[in-house]
Structure 1
Amino acid sequence: MTYNTGLAERIGWVQRRSQDLVGNVEQFIHGKSNVVWNAVVAMLAEGHILIEDVPGVAKTSLAKALAQSVGGTMRRIQFTPDLLPSDVIGVQIFNTTKQEFTFREGPVFANVVLGDEINRASPKTQSALLEAMAEHQVTVDGTPYALPRPNLVIATQNPVDQQGTYSLPEAQLDRFMMRLHIGYPSAEQEVRVIGDSIARRLPEQLQSVTTIEELQQMIDTVREVYVAPALQAFIVSITSATRTIAQLKLGASPRASNALANAAQARAAVEGRPFVTADDIKSIARPVLCHRLMLTPEASVQNFSAVSIVDNILAAVPVPQAPVGV
């Protein structure tokens, strides 16, 4: 065996706790199991989540339900055009008693940071999150301040209403491990949504089903999931293929390769396996890669999409045939 056989029991525990998390969130988010599971996978991979969809489909509610379910500290930032970087990361305040500057932490100093309508903030304010999301620290007046661990950003974005919004820069999109789409509910699911509204049920009323300490233990266990060298090469083959597609002017970065590997580890863990398979990689390739790809204007006119390009790459790249779990 090339992975720790004692890991299997802890992976079983991660699987059960993940099921608890998903079940708790689904008390409020109805009929979107795949979306909720992907969100939990991203959290266990210690990745940031961008929830993008039209208004009124429970983007913010999903973010709140996830944050509420894991306990720990949670802060919400309502992104607006007048929001300043210091409103996000914090500011130095002069202490007249001590005659010195002290740092007052901003809302980014939390285990879970809810960024509502992130694309409504100016590029300058959006850039304040770059260091926090990539390096788990912020720097103010030349002094670095470590963020609590884990530190997960769950942001929402409305791609339809462009008035008063700013496109997220590619550098920031690349820092989100996954972009998730919820979609409209079915008629039956929408009836349940109405029932929640009539009963005045809110995601803030959910009870946490784990602690932030347990979540950290789950994250540490996920990091031990074995990724065979052949599958590491498979991941690189997928991401490097996006850099040679004529319809793309921007392909996936090496950060995307890391994100795909880490997300695959988390997906294997929630499936109860201490090793990654090719199916783990292929199943989360869309939410991990699509938002990182930029189509050429010609490709957009010809009705190409990032989803179709990723699907074509997955169909074309050979899957490793050697055993990957031993």
Structure 2
Amino acid sequence: MSALNLNARIGVIGAGAMGAGIAQVAAQAGHQVLLLDNRPGAAAQAIDNIDRQLGKRVENGKLAAEARDATLARLHPVENAQALADCALVIEAIAENLEAKRALFVQLESLCSTQCVFASNTSSLSITGIAAPLKHPHRLLGLHFFNPAPVMALVEVVCGVASDPVLADCLYDTAKAWGKKPVHTRSTPGFIVNRVARPFYAESLRLLQEGAADCPTLDALLREAGGFAMGAFELTDLIGHDVNYAVTCSVFDAYYGDPRFQPSLAQKALVDAGRLGRKSGQGFYCYSEQAERPGASTLPNAPAPQTCAVEGDLGALQPLLSRLQGQGVK
């Protein structure tokens, strides 16, 4: 089974940042896309936001006006799930809640044809678990995009226990046809990226809680010494703390409380306060127009050290001592 042809209608449920981004990707690839959200007017508002974003690209000479107009003409807000009945693929991008996702796909199974493929954009919930209540669980897979979906190339194609490998290949080829770089993965906690990424966030959050340094300094260390495009606090503000914290809790629980994945009380406090990051205007940083971004703390210039005292076995740090000695440090 090859990629879905361009005559295939795509349904996207959830008009938040991820759902709107996925809808835009599918529409830019040439599909008619139906966008549904249970909040009145949210789907139409999301399409208006896409219009503004694409308009900026036109103004900057990065997109032809005709391409913008064609993409917008393929995006259609709809009022209820019944409107998705003739879709060939329905992608769910709602809140990270297992029961809500299960109930949605059970409803879709009663509305859509048996040929329709179901996909969840879940970041970490079990595809096997989501598909469990379905009469035909083989047609539900994970199709996990990354934020912002129109920009980020990677897409995880996730198979649960019952998922049909033929449909997994179809979604892989479809994502590739949409200009993405898909990868196959099994439905393990956090899949590939979110399992690997947990320590990236966790170490910075632990250092913050322990008072080792402030957010701007820790972010600067990751950017300037680690070579990352963004630090952990900048990135979690972009993702949204409600989403990032929920994924961390999901992975932590799935690995039976492995301390490597322990959620942060500092991040929980932000979620409890409604400080979700860029989308709420406040997270670890403030995003109001008047806000000034705090700078990293730096030490004043000082002479290079001449001596270094070592106590005990350095272990993995032994090469560091050799480098210091190579620079003349005794």
TM-score by length of 1: 0.26
TM-score norm. by structure 2 comes to 0.26
Greater strand content: 1
Task: Considering Cα pairs closer than 8 Å and 6+ residues apart, tell me whether 1 or 2 has the greater RCO.
Answer: 1
